[in-house]
Homo-oligomer: A and B are copies of this chain.
Amino acid sequence: MTDSPEYKKKRAFYDNLLTIYGRKPVLEALQDHSINIYKLHLADSNKSGGIIEQINSLAEQRGIEVQWHNRQALSRISRNSKQDQGVAADIQLDQHQSVSEFIQQQQTNTPYRLLALDSITNPQNLGMIIRSASAGHIDGIIIPRKGCAALSPLVIKASVGTVFKATLIHCETLQQALEQFQQQQATICTLSSHAKDSLFDYQCEQSIIYVLGNETDGVSQAVSQLSDQQLAIPMNNGVESLNVAVTAALIAFVKPQPE
């Protein structure tokens, strides 16, 4: 019964909700009409007037359901009582999906380019990666539920709001997700300073997934075992590595070169 189509639909709906919190982030989301907001949550301890008044009336104008809670209930929703400032909102992320959903939507003859995040823990980096990937030639970002930074206000800020519009592909572990993609003939690429092939010259006719590793430890062993292709970014002056968000941007803006 839990697998009924009705249940699946409901689960997918709630899976695609992102709860954001804090007065300014929520206000900014309300002001951007391209962002779908499912529900606004307010603590009844909030003093009326000022920004709370503005948030409340914007929600009314947009016909968004407003729920009032006591302080404790609100912190259960925001999961961050220290920073929620008595305000939270559930955002509907229509571009966020599961691996299977993403794969189903692809057309067989159109290769896609994805980023896969293997334990990106710095919110600033995560936000910058989402921003650059959205601006560049990337069709989606695979983010495992565990190990990566949560989509917190810091991430939203560094992403300059692109997190609400980016195609984010959620999964439990990256290893499982990459195995699913490999079954679809996608090529898994990892970056290595020792690799022979350069990121900038590499041509691939298949779909391609670029794995970005943790800021300190790089790509985990479980994931690097799945790598089909290693690529190097050639560097001058003995520099050994680049910031992970910079690497993501270089990948995102490498032009898929026509033959």
Task: Provide the bound-state CA to CA distance between A165 and B242, in Å.
Answer: 15
Q: Closest CB of chain B to A31's CB: distance in Å?
A: 15
Tell whether, in the assembled complex, residue A241 and residue B132 are in contact, meaning their CB atoms are under 8 Å apart.
no
Partner of A128, one of B135, B200, B246: B246
Looking at chain A's contact residues, the main secondary structure is: loop
Partner of A237, one of B135, B233, B235, B245: B135
Q: What B residues does A166 contact at CB under 8 A?
A: 237
State how many copies of this chain the complex holds.
2
Query: For the complex, is A202 an interface residue (Cβ under 8 Å from B)?
Result: no
Q: What B residues does A158 contact at CB under 8 A?
A: 243
> Which segment, of A44-52, A59-67, A247-255, faces chain B?
A247-255
Q: What B residues does A200 contact at CB under 8 A?
A: 253, 255
Query: For the complex, is A137 an interface residue (Cβ under 8 Å from B)?
Result: yes
Apart from A134-B237, A135-B233, A165-B237, what 15 extra A-B contacts exist at CB < 8 Å?
A128-B246, A131-B243, A132-B242, A134-B239, A135-B235, A135-B237, A135-B242, A160-B239, A160-B241, A165-B238, A166-B237, A243-B245, A245-B245, A246-B249, A250-B250
A-B contact pairs, 18 of them (CB 8 A): A124-B124, A131-B239, A131-B246, A132-B242, A132-B243, A132-B246, A134-B236, A134-B237, A135-B237, A135-B239, A135-B242, A136-B235, A136-B236, A137-B236, A233-B253, A246-B246, A249-B249, A249-B250
